[in-house]
Amino acid sequence: FFSLHFTATMATGPSQRTDSIALYGTPSSTQRPGAPNWTKAFYWVLLVGCTAAIGVTCWHYPLFPFRLDSLAWATNWLLATCVDYWGAALCLSGVILASERFPAGPIWVAGCLLLGSPVCCLWVLHRLHRHGTLGLAGTQ
């Protein structure tokens, strides 16, 4: 599973040192921390909620064949699509909060949640430019 922690980067001459501290205070340099229980619970609830919302929509309003002439079908699929996007954006938000310093992390998250996929793409490009990879392990 993914470990939610904040990262602080300190300049130490020509190279930079990165120290990660888990939200509950265990330095990851001495041991690899697990995500706090509230973080795991949040993502479990998000998984169940998103799965239920999309599942109920599929059950009552099958996706195929498209029924674009039905207001109920279109409205329910619009809501399911919003739940699906926000579920994915909240997962990306956890990665952003674990990767970015304050206040940049919360600003990126607000952008992703309020302005959508263009800001998510912009953060990915920012990360690629800054780190040269989208990998989360071993980046400094």
Tens digit of each residue's pLDDT (9 = 90 or more) over 93-117: 999 999 999 999 999 999 999 999 9
pLDDT at 71 over 70: yes
Average pLDDT of the chain? 81
Average confidence (pLDDT) over 45-68: 96
The pLDDT of residue 60 is above 60? yes
CA distance readout (Å), 120 to 33, 59, 80, 93, 139:
27, 30, 20, 9, 20
- Above 50 in pLDDT, residue 18? no
